[in-house]
Amino acid sequence: MSLILADTPLDSRFLLGTAGYPSPEILRRAIEASGAQVVTMGLRRQLAHGASANEFVALIQASGARILPNTAGCRSAREAVTLARMARELFETNWIKLEVVGDEYTLQPDPFELITAATELARDGFEVFPYCTDDLVTCRRLLDAGCRILMPWGAPIGSGQGLVNPYALRTLRARLPDVPLIVDAGIGSPADAVQAMQLGYDAVLLNSAVAHAHDPVVMARAFKLAIEAGRLGYEAGLMPQQDMGVPSTPVTGQPFVL
């Protein structure tokens, strides 16, 4: 079950967001239940909370998880690059989840601004985790820009729709077999996480489905098990689908009665 991201070995394939939890204590318990070793955190939210942000960061650090700051809320490459550099100083990490949104309704990434920002940040020594669509050409351009990891969406952020285009995600996996791929955004249930992992994806990143659950701690545990089950199923080799029925116990000759 081990995973290597940016030359860092991880035991968990579950990356967890930290926004929208009922309380810091529930977030702490959810991280523990999830087994996640990487958690995302928006720098804009930290700046907005002022001094209390330090306590929030301390909570994350105490969990033992690695912080993956993100540029959520940015609408241009310049804005995202500026925020990423601030995040590097604040969190003392060169990891950055790069988000540059181009549409307010779907929160779909802007591919042009995203590639521009990724190019500059990669040259500046960042390990860029780009939140992108499932478009193969865009993903290839991000790799050309210096990204070593891709984070295509399953559906719009916070929509809970699951994997709306499994064909596109399957194509990405087939065409980019050696690139770490993480499904990010749109995951609504543990079943969605299983599906993503059974497609051969390396990890899943989600936030809302856990944070907004009736019991976030139990839901975090559910997703942990789903991600593990989906990965094990993929590694074991899934049964191929077919139209006709095939008996599980083959029989030969004529029936007989003792």
pLDDT tens-place string over residues 109-162: 999 999 999 999 999 999 999 999 999 999 999 999 999 999 999 999 999 999
Output 56 or 109, whichever has higher pLDDT: 109
Query: Strand (E) positions, 180-241?
Result: 182-184, 203-206
Contact, 101 vs 83, CB < 8 A?
A: no
Q: Which of 97, 221, 224, 231 is catalytic?
A: 97
Mean model confidence pLDDT for the chain: 92
- pLDDT value at position 240? 86
pTM for the model? 0.90
What's the average model confidence in pLDDT over 168-184? 97
Closest CA to 5 of 233, 205, 154: 205
- pLDDT value at position 247? 79
158 Ramachandran zone, left/alpha/beta (phi>0; psi -120 to 50): left
Contact, 18 vs 41, CB < 8 A?
A: yes
What confidence tier does 52 reach under pLDDT thresholds 50, 70, 90? low
Contact, 144 vs 136, CB < 8 A?
A: no
Q: Is 224 a catalytic residue?
A: no
In a 3-state reduction of DSSP, which class is residue 196?
A: helix
Helices and strands in the chain: count of H runs, count of E runs: 10, 10
